[in-house]
Amino acid sequence: MNTDISVSTWQAELAVDSRCTLGEGPQWDAINQRLYWCDILGKRLHWLSPATGESGHYQLDHMVSLATPLEGGGLLLVGEDRLCRFDTHSGSVETFCDFETDNPITRSNDARVDCHGSLWLSTMGKKAEKGAGSLYRLHRGKLTRLRSGLTIPNAICFSADGCFAWLTDTVTGVVMRWALDSEGWPKGEPQPWADFSSTLGNPDGAVVDSEGCLWLALWGAGQVVRLNHNGEIIGRVELPVSQPSCSAFAGPDLKTLYITTAQEGFSAEQLAQEPTAGSLYVVELDIAGLAEPPLRLE
């Protein structure tokens, strides 16, 4: 990577002291002005209303890694072996479809809606078993497997024009870019785009801003880095905890970046050093995020 590029730096601050075991999947609900995020291992869906500062959570009966707004209202939960409609008012959960129910070692991991209103989601082994994970696309209600043999698939996000998807298998340290056709389906093979295999931290979740730059969480490094079109670091958000997992732009102008974190695998000593690990962090920016459409099921 080019080390001569000027790098902007921001400091993230504590937003919600949620202390998730594995905080993941931050998602902005623009219609209801609410941020949702998950504690995968704690089986909880957290929420925050930034305008009022109110926050809370729903206790679920299975692991969930994303709650994304649906066209027409409500949320779709990306769960360990199922996709469910969720009513935030009543708390009712209705299964939409199952996946990998015959494989008890896997659960859902990263997920994001593309510019066509279709959901990409990944699975991985509950103990990060090598090659146990897969990548899927839910397009107009039909779930299609795009790739298998992955270990910790992450960093799913998309260019504004819909021409590319980004993704990584965290254990490789390499972020890939994948060309898409006019309907949002992959074509050809994904190509290496940014290599973190020899740096501190492993690539985790990612989100795209309105300038087409990628904001990538570096698990283990306590940073979210901003990457330009060439995959070079041009910005850095520093956190006081070491395991950031993913980011989401939120707020009326999409200039507030929320970052989920984790305390998964921490010893008592590590937890004492990072007492707010697993909490939600925030940084105010002068850069807007890329608005994401609601999920279309039909």
209 carries a ligand binding annotation: no
In Å, how far are 206, 289, 291 from 211, measured between CA atoms?
A: 15, 8, 12
- Residue 155 near residue 174, CB atoms below 8 Å: no
154 carries a ligand binding annotation: yes
Taken in order 201, 204, 209, 214, the sign of the CA dihedral is positive
Structure tokens at 149: 């043999």
Judged by DSSP in three states, 281 sits in: strand
Closest residue by Cα to residue 244 from 170, 172, 174, 134: 170
Closest residue by Cα to residue 149 from 130, 176, 175, 177: 130
24 carries a ligand binding annotation: yes
CA–CA dist 208, 213 (Å, integer): 6
Taken in order 15, 20, 23, 29, the sign of the CA dihedral is negative
Distance between terminal CA atoms of the chain?
43
109 carries a ligand binding annotation: yes
145 carries a ligand binding annotation: no
CA–CA dist 78, 143 (Å, integer): 12
Out of 29, 114, 169, 204, which one is annotated catalytic? 204
Dihedrals φ, ψ of 273, to 5°?
-75, -30
169 flagged as catalytic: no
Annotated binding-site ranges for a divalent metal cation: 24, 154, 204
Binding-site residues from annotation for substrate: 107, 109
Give the residue numbers marked as catalytic. 204
Binding residues: 24, 107, 109, 154, 204
